[in-house]
């Protein structure tokens, strides 16, 4: 499963990386991926979840039941088969 590790980033960098990671995974037709934000004070998790909530391409996301510092993400299937112009 593809993973993005956000440890050591600030809120702005986190937002940029998460958006690019979502775009890349959809382009590569990955239905599921993980975003590792850590536990800490929750800044990276909150920023990640705000982005995921607003993205219409995301079907669902949740905390990994085995690692509370990781969010599991599932893409809507209809977004995986769209044609991209490069």
- Please say whether the beta carbons of 18 and 47 come within 8 A: yes
Which pLDDT tens digit goes with each residue over 13-24? 999 999 999 999
Which pLDDT tens digit goes with each residue over 29-42? 999 999 999 999 99
In the chain, where the domains are located: 3-80
pLDDT score at 84: 56
Strand order in the sheet with 58-64: 3-5, 32-36, 67-75, 58-64
Q: What number is the average pLDDT over the span 42-70?
A: 97
CATH of domain 3-80: 3.30.1370.110
């Amino acid at each position: 499963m593809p993973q993005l590790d956000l440890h050591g980033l600030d809120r702005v960098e986190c937002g940029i990386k998460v958006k690019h990671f979502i775009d890349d995974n959809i382009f590569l037709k990955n239905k599921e991926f993980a975003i590792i934000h850590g536990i800490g004070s929750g800044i990276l998790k909150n920023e990640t979840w705000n982005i995921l909530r607003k993205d219409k391409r995301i079907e669902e996301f949740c905390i990994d039941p085995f690692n509370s510092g990781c969010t599991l993400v599932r893409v809507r299937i209809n977004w995986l088969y769209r044609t991209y112009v490069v």
